[in-house]
Amino acid sequence: MVRNVVITGGTGFIGAAIVRELLAAGNHVTVLVRQDSDLTRLNGLSAVTIVRYSALHSAETIAALSAAKPDAFIHCAWQGVGGQDRNAAFQVKDNLALTLDAVDLAAAIGCRQWVGLGSQAEYGNQNRRLNEDAALLPTTLYGKAKLAAGIAALALCEARGIQGAWLRVFSTYGPGDAPGWFIPFVTQEFLAGRKPTLTKCEQQWDYLYVADAARAVVAVIDSAASGVFNLGSGSARPLVDYVEAIRSVLASDLTPEYGAVPYRPDQVMHLEADTSKLTTQTGWRPTVDLSAGIAATVAFERNRSGAPAPIL
């Protein structure tokens, strides 16, 4: 079924992957972007429609979107996902309002579905496998804002007569990720000929390949699923496995300096999503295994750095 889909945050890492997945499935996609947005991740996607806005749910934005008669709205936009911004006041003051404006906009332009991206940070540091019924104990303003946004957005969807879904995203990786995150950082250190300086990397973390995350969002729309869902790979590995997978793909003889960086006092040692609810209601399962995902990510990072391919 061909849909007309509107998405915010489509220039971000996960958002751009969702745009590509929607287009690959034959959907018509409109990406809402701020006036100063960087469109680099959307390069080459000539079929996408770009609409710049100054304010969501303004008369101008509503008019620009209504003619396409959109079916679904995906809200990925969020200011301040980096660690340095996790306790900034704008997490609550700006992002909560933006999320609710996105619901109101979806209702105003006639969408029947609204999907928003939450975060595992809504659960806080529980160090265990988590399902959607787990206690909600966020420790940062980022996690608290995501939790508040999800609760309020789904309530507003119900009030506006829209089907709403909120996906709590665990860790994602893949081509196009921001350079400072763990997997790109480790890859770039190897490519630069440096030994990555790391913790002991005993942490058990759940990483999902970004294209699989995008397919999950599309599956939620296709199945008309509603409510709260965890979005992760459904299994956790020690971080050392990811590091060694990168080293193997690069055929590097550099030995990472494990243990050179101490664990933080609030270090998350076990981060794992129970995704059975999502699978049951949508049929979605991850399809990209770690070796394929890391290989694709390393190829992207090599191109970004300009490093030559190894002679094997």
Instruction: Write the burial class of residue 49 (CB in 10 Å: 0-12 exposed, 13-18 middle, 19+ buried).
Output: middle
Q: What angle do CA 293, 296, 301 make, to 5 degrees?
A: 120
Residues 42-58 pLDDT 10s? 999 989 999 999 999 89
Contact 53/60 with Cβ under 8 angstroms?
Answer: yes
Average pLDDT over residues 148-157: 98
Q: Taking the domains of the chain in order of start, what are their residue ranges?
A: 4-172+209-231, 177-206+235-305
Place of tokens 């990555």: 196
Is pLDDT at 312 greater than 60 in this prediction?
A: no
Q: How far apart are the C-alpha atoms of 94 and 88, rounded to whole Å?
A: 10
Structure confidence by residue, pLDDT tens digits, 202-216: 999 999 999 999 999
Q: How confident is the model at residue 84 (pLDDT cuts 50, 70, 90)?
A: confident
pLDDT at 307: 61
Q: Are strands 237-238 and 171-173 parallel, antiparallel or unpaired?
A: unpaired
Number of C-alpha atoms within 13 angstroms, CB side, residue 68? 24
Query: What's the topology of domain 177-206+235-305?
Result: UDP-galactose 4-epimerase; domain 1 (3.90.25)
Query: What pTM was computed for the model?
Result: 0.96
- Res. 310: pLDDT tops 50: no
Q: What percent of the chain has pLDDT over 70?
A: 98
| Dihedral pair phi/psi, residue 110, rounded to 5° | 90, 15
CATH number (3.90.1150.10, 3.40.50.2000, 3.40.50.150, 3.40.50.720) of 4-172+209-231 reads: 3.40.50.720
- Contact criterion met (CB below 8 Å) for 167 and 216: yes
